[in-house]
Amino acid sequence: MDSLRPSWGPSVRFLFAAFLCIGLAAESSGQELLTAAGKPAEGPLDAFLGEPCCDLQTVFDEGGNVREPYLAIAVDGTLLAMRNNKGQLRRSQDGGRTWGEIIGVSITHSDSNLIVDENTGDVLWVRMWDGVDRVFRSRDHGKTWAEEKITLGLNERLRQFEKTGAKKRVTKGDQNTTGTYYLHANASESGVTLRHGKHRGRLLVTATFRPHAKAHPSDREPGEELFSCAIFSDDHGATWQVSDFFPEGYTEEAALVELHDGRIYYNSRSHSGYYDKARARALRPDEILRREAWSNDGGQTWENLNVSPVLPDGGGYGRGYGMKGGLTRLPVKGRDILIFSNADTAGGERKKMTVWASFDGGKTWPVKRLVYAPHGAYSSLVAGRPGTPSEGRIYLLFEGGPDGQYSAMQVARFNLPWILAGEPTGNGTVPEWVLP
């Protein structure tokens, strides 16, 4: 593919810098933040209210083994639904009412999820596991894609690994090479463009440090455990840095959102249980729950590790090895309304696809609602953008259909009142400002 690295002249660079300065000035003065589409980045709560509504439709079901749902929303409101394991993409330009034909793309297992750069309108995903670090970029909201090389900088822990020879970065294919690792972002949730603070404009998405080992992620010996982390770019995807590791090992397939005050909320799958039935044991209560942490520096470091008391790490078949969940923040100015999705089975079977709502940035999750009972595995969430056809709806792409959890992928579209009509969790209360 042709490289997309732009050859900007001095005048264009000046105008782009001026645009960023205007955006920062707008933020500091309280003016409305706009995306590259000229639409508000955040809007009023009212758009997500109204009469409760929810509908489902199948977007992928052919060929069996319908795996790895990735969902993103371009700055013009175009929804992008990915069947990652087959490199298939479908687009919706009318808020998920109808979906276009399947587009074949180069994204594969172990690539990052989609990242929307709200300041350029580009959609990207990152590949860093097969020996050539690169991004695939779309400048037309997912219709076409092109490849460009990137530079990836390692965090201090990885530099020390390589300096001492304890671990060397290689490719995913070098499975039998001891003392090595690779980086990937398999089944992470969509990345974000930071909107607040000194790191405004940064692209941020979760990733994984994965030492080579024969064992399942749950069954590894100390020193070979996986660690969730993040990667970020301050130049629209040309160069990337690896963040510090998540505060707990045996973690991956994570999600993050930026809160209205610029802090980052991070939610991760845990592999602290076991996979091999020969290792069967009684699980601790925390081994069927999600891990959380926060960042105060734009995603460079993670702190305040917490085991969520209410969010399940569903789908471990009673063995506590968790499952990818979905996460999004509603684009409501001054509020931190988060939606999380997973199988509501406390580490059991992959079914009972459910969504939870938080109204305080992930501190409490007072209400949940079942979306699809028969089957439900990996899931991905986005929220509609103000001023576009997607506005006011929450979109959930999940594995699950009438013939099993991997027989299809469905999209559920719903609003906030539909969730509020669900079941109280006992973890906090729904605030009055969101009630009808």
137, 123 Cβ separation under 8 angstroms: yes
Query: Given this model, what pLDDT does residue 139 score?
Result: 98
How would DSSP label each residue in 15-38? HHHHHHHHHHHHHHTTPPPB-TTS
This prediction has a pTM of 0.93
Query: Given this model, what pLDDT does residue 257 score?
Result: 98
The four Cα atoms 230, 148, 19, 263 give a dihedral, to 10 degrees, of: 0
236, 120 Cβ separation under 8 angstroms: yes
Sheet bearing 423-424, strands edge to edge: 326-329, 338-343, 353-358, 367-372, 423-424
Query: Given this model, what pLDDT does residue 25 score?
Result: 44
359, 342 Cβ separation under 8 angstroms: no
Give the whole-angstrom CA distance, residue 94 versus residue 83: 20
Domain layout of the chain by residue ranges:
10-434
- Any idea which architecture 10-434 has in CATH? 6 Propeller (2.120)
Give the whole-angstrom CA distance, residue 210 versus residue 182: 5
Provide the token pair at 189: 């949730």
Successive 10-residue mean pLDDT values, the chain, 436 residues: 40 41 48 93 97 98 94 98 96 98 94 96 97 97 97 97 95 90 94 97 98 94 95 98 98 97 98 96 96 98 98 94 97 98 94 98 98 97 98 98 95 98 98 93
Q: Name the pairing type of β-strands 134-138 and 123-127.
A: antiparallel
Q: What angle do CA 116, 122, 127 make, to 5 degrees?
A: 70
How would DSSP label each residue in 54-88? EEEEEEE-SSS----EEEEE-TTS-EEEEEGGGTE
Give the whole-angstrom CA distance, residue 15 versus residue 24: 14
63, 409 Cβ separation under 8 angstroms: no
Terminus-to-terminus CA distance in the chain, angstroms?
52
Query: Given this model, what pLDDT does residue 63 score?
Result: 87
User: Phi/psi zone of residue 180: left (φ > 0), alpha (ψ -120 to 50 degrees), beta?
Assistant: beta
Give the whole-angstrom CA distance, residue 93 versus residue 80: 9
Query: Given this model, what pLDDT does residue 30 score?
Result: 62
Query: Given this model, what pLDDT does residue 9 score?
Result: 46
Query: Considering only CA atoms, which of 320, 307, 315, 306 is closest in space to residue 344?
Result: 315
Query: Given this model, what pLDDT does residue 1 score?
Result: 40
